[in-house]
């Protein structure tokens, strides 16, 4: 299992388009991917779960990956949240 804290680098917070792209990115991997804020982590492959996080800009989110390709998933999703999320 791999986990760490990643800030949400999007000026509007977790919105529908961001949740869609994040879930699609997470779905590329076979491992489980969980993302959480102050509460319990949610399945990052589920758009509605991501929206229920109600994450705001700059919120620190705990990213957890567990499974065969956990390292690749962790790196890709960390990069997405830090870089690509700014563009959505």
Could you tell me if 62 and 4 are in contact, meaning their C-beta atoms sit under 8 angstroms apart? yes
Eight-state DSSP code of residue 86: G
| Torsion sign over Cα 78, 35, 17, 69 | positive
**Phi, psi (rounded to 5 degrees) for 50:** -65, -40
- The active-site residue out of 11, 15, 28, 30 is 15
21 is an active site residue: no
Which active-site residues does the annotation give? Answer: 15
């Amino acid at each position: 299992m791999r986990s760490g804290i990643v800030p949400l680098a999007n000026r509007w917070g977790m919105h529908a388009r961001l949740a869609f792209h994040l879930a699609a990115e997470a779905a590329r991997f076979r491992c489980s991917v969980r993302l959480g804020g102050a509460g319990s982590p949610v399945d990052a492959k589920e758009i509605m779960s991501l929206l229920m996080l109600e994450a705001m800009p700059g919120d620190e989110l705990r990213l957890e990956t567990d499974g065969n390709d956990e390292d690749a998933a962790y790196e890709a999703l960390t990069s997405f949240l830090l870089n690509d999320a700014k563009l959505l």
